[in-house]
Structure formats: C-alpha cells, structure tokens
Structure 1
Amino acid sequence: MTRLRPAVVAFDVNETLLDLAPVRATLVEAGQPESLLGTVFARTLLTGFAATVVGDWCSFRDAFDSALAQESPLPADTRATVLDAFAELSPHPDVEPALRRLTEAGVRVVTLSHGSPGVAQAGLARGGLTPLVAATLTSEAIRAWKPAREVYLWAAGRCEVAPERLALVASHGWDVLGAQRAGLTGAWFPRSERVYPAVYEAPHVQADDLLGAVEGLLALPA
C-alpha cells in the first residue's frame, strides 16, 4: 500500500518529545543509580501492556509506582516525589523545529500518550510549544495502553481523519509497530532506543533524528 502524506501527525510523549532527566535526577537524589530509570520504565510498560492484553487497566502513575516499588527500596513518600517529577519534564532541543516544520507545512500536530493527563501539556508549555500542538491525547480516556490497536483508531477518530491519514512518530519501535498494524503511517527515529527491533516489520519512515522523521513524512505523496 502506498503511504500518503499525513493530514495529522501524532507524537509519542515520554522520551520521544520530553526528556526524562528530571525523573532520573530525582531518583539519583534519593540515592538510586542513574540506570534505575530505564529498568523501572521498562517494567512500567510491561505492567501496562499486560493489563491491556488481558482486558484490565491501570494508570501510568500506578504502574510506574508499582514498578519502582519492585525495583527499589524507596518508601511510598519518596516514590511519590519521583512520580511528581514527571510534571517537570521539558522538550528535547530538537522538538521545536520539528513541530514548527509540520505546522508551517499545514499539517496538524497532536500528542498521543498512555501517560498521566497533564504531563504532555506541562512539558509543552514549559518549552513554549503549546501553540504548535492542536490537541494532547492520552489513552487513559479509553483505559488502554499503546500499542493496542484501539488506541490508534481512537486517536484517528478524535482527529477526525481516516487512520491512513494519521501518522505516529515515536522513538519506540513497539509504538510504531502498533500504529502501523492499526493502519497508521509509522515513523521511527533513535533516541534512547538506538536500533529499531529487527523482529518487527520495518517502519514506513525511518530517520537518524526527529527532524529527519518529519521530513520523511512530508516527502510522502499528497
């Protein structure tokens, strides 16, 4: 199937757009190693994915807290402080030019997360990017986690476009795979995940950086 230039581009939030450095710093201040965040984040995703697969649900905050309790000796009040650091996230330096490139090309920009409501809004506002984003969507509204098919189709419905006219940009291969299986156009670039998983179908667009991913989408036929 020939992929078309999207009318709307959705962006994953955590890591793709927003830098998790404040969360990592809070863990270090609590006496934990810098590497702990990667371990906890992976367990958080596992928790949420498993709940969605079996027809259950939990919030990102609860899943992260559970994962942190499993992987560290931190008491509940310290874990709450770590979780509150998600409200302090800021965009990576390459985000502003990428979002501006799309809006100047007449393409709507939204965010699509399964994270806690307000995290994307706060991060975008901190970076002065709110005017560039038409909507901030979180699948907590439908009690499901990406990469479940229903999340991407719900997002397309919210954006009032057919799935094939919605693209998903993410630095996580599992997210791009989920989007493509739901009929969206997927675009991947490396961030914390340096290599696209070879066991997945190839992304429709792959680039060395975020702006390259955006340019790849804009180069698709109208």
Structure 2
Amino acid sequence: MSARRPHVVAFDVNETLLDLSPVRAELVELGLPGHLLATVFGRTLQTGFAATVAGTWLPFRAAFDSALAQLTDLADDDRARVADAFLELSPHPDVEPALRRLTAAGVRAVTLTHGSPGVAEAGLERGGITPLVERTLSSETVRAWKPSREAYLWAAGTCGVAPERLALVAAHGWDVLGATRAGLTGAWFPRGERVYPPAYPAPAVVAPDLAGAVEALLALPA
C-alpha cells in the first residue's frame, strides 16, 4: 500500500525533538568526555531493547543508569545527577517551525517516546511549544520499548487513527524501521546519524532535515 498523508504525526523525543546538550554538559561537569554520551545512550537503548525482546521490561531511567554504571565509575548520586539532566532539555531550533507548519495544515502532532514520563512535557514547556502538541505519549504505559510493534499500534489506537494514518518522524533509523513494520508511515531525517541505515528497507520519507520531513509527509496523497 502506498503511503498516504497522515492525520496525526508522532515525533520521537530524545535527539529528534530535544537537544541532549544538558546531559552531555553534566557528564563534562563530572570530569567525563562529552562524546561519551553517544556510547552511553547507545548502551541504554541496547539494554531496553534486549529487555523487551526477552519478554521483560524496565523503564528508561533504569536502563540509562545501568549504562552509566557499566561505562563509568560514577557514584550513585552522580549518575542520578546525569539522569536528572534529561528534565533540562530544550527543543532544537527547527522544532517550533515544523510543528507550526503541521498545525497550519490541520494535522495533529503528538510525541512518542520510550523515555521517562515528564521529559517531553518539560522540554516542550521550556521551548514554549506545548500548545502545538496534542498529547505526549510514553510507551512506558504499555511497558514496551520502541521499536516493538506494540508501542506503535498502541499510539495509533490512543490517537484514534488507523496505523496507516499515523506517521512517525525520528532521527533514528531503528525507530523509523519499527514504525514502518507496524504499518505506520515512517519519516527519517539526520541528526546524529549521517544516513538512513542502508541495511534497512527505505521508509516512505528520507529528508535532509526536519522541515523537509514534514513537507514530504504533507505532500503525500490524501
């Protein structure tokens, strides 16, 4: 089935919408290199993915703390400081224009994360763009990390739309792959990843930036 213009667009949160610089800065404040964040974040995802595939579950914060414990010598209190920095995130500069473009086109916007509840809300509030987002969704509600099919189908049901009328925009290829496999319309653009993973089937949209991803979704046939 060809991709159709979505009625709702769901946005991944960490990195896709919100800049992780405060978390990186906290690592540096504790004497660690800022580039370590990419490794810690990757290990966090690995931990959460493995738990979901194995049939168990753990929240994002527990997975992040586990990754820090594995990769650093930080004490418990210092690891908590780093995790708390997720509540200090702000939107990337291109986020507000993209959300306003959707609003002007009459398309609903939501967030979909497996991150800790409250992170998306705090970041949207800090950026002054809360009114542009209909609701914030965390797959912690259904205890399944993305890219599990369950997380995306739950989001579609919560938004009251068929999966093919829900698009997922993310700067992570694995997230877009999961959404596409669940029947959603996937849209990828680069932030930390240079290209969409060549090993994956191409999604409906691969764009050079967030604005391009939004425009490509709006240009799909009704």
TM-score, structure 1 as length reference = 1.00
Alpha-carbon distance, 1:91 to partner = 0.1
Give ranges in structure 2 of 5+ residues lacking alignment. Answer: none
Alpha-carbon distance, 1:14 to partner = 0.1
1:99 aligned partner, one-letter code: L
Q: Distance in 2 between matches of 1:48 and 1:185?
A: 24
1:201 partnered with 2:201: yes
Alpha-carbon distance, 1:79 to partner = 0.4
Q: Distance in 2 between matches of 1:165 and 1:11?
A: 14
CA deviations on 1:33-62 (whole Å, 9 max, x unpaired) are 111100000000000000000110000000
Alpha-carbon distance, 1:194 to partner = 1.2
Q: Distance in 1 between matches of 2:78 and 2:193?
A: 28
- Other-structure match for 1:113: 113
Give ranges in structure 1 of 5+ residues lacking alignment. Answer: none
Counterpart secondary structure, 1:10: strand
- Other-structure match for 1:30: 30
1:211 partnered with 2:217: no
1:13 partnered with 2:13: yes
- Other-structure match for 1:71: 71
Q: How does 1:53-64 map to 2 (within 5 A)?
A: 53-64=53-64
- Other-structure match for 1:186: 186
1:8 aligned partner, one-letter code: V
Q: Distance in 2 between matches of 1:143 and 1:149?
A: 12
Counterpart secondary structure, 2:85: helix
- Other-structure match for 1:131: 131
Alpha-carbon distance, 1:195 to partner = 1.1
CA deviations on 1:112-149 (whole Å, 9 max, x unpaired) are 00000000000000000100000000000011100000
Alpha-carbon distance, 1:203 to partner = 1.4
1:151 aligned partner, one-letter code: A
TM-score, structure 2 as length reference = 1.00
Counterpart secondary structure, 1:196: coil
Q: How does 1:36-55 map to 2 (within 5 A)?
A: 36-55=36-55
**Structure 1 segments of 4+ aligned residues over 6 angstroms from their partners:** none
**RMSD value, Cα:** 0.4
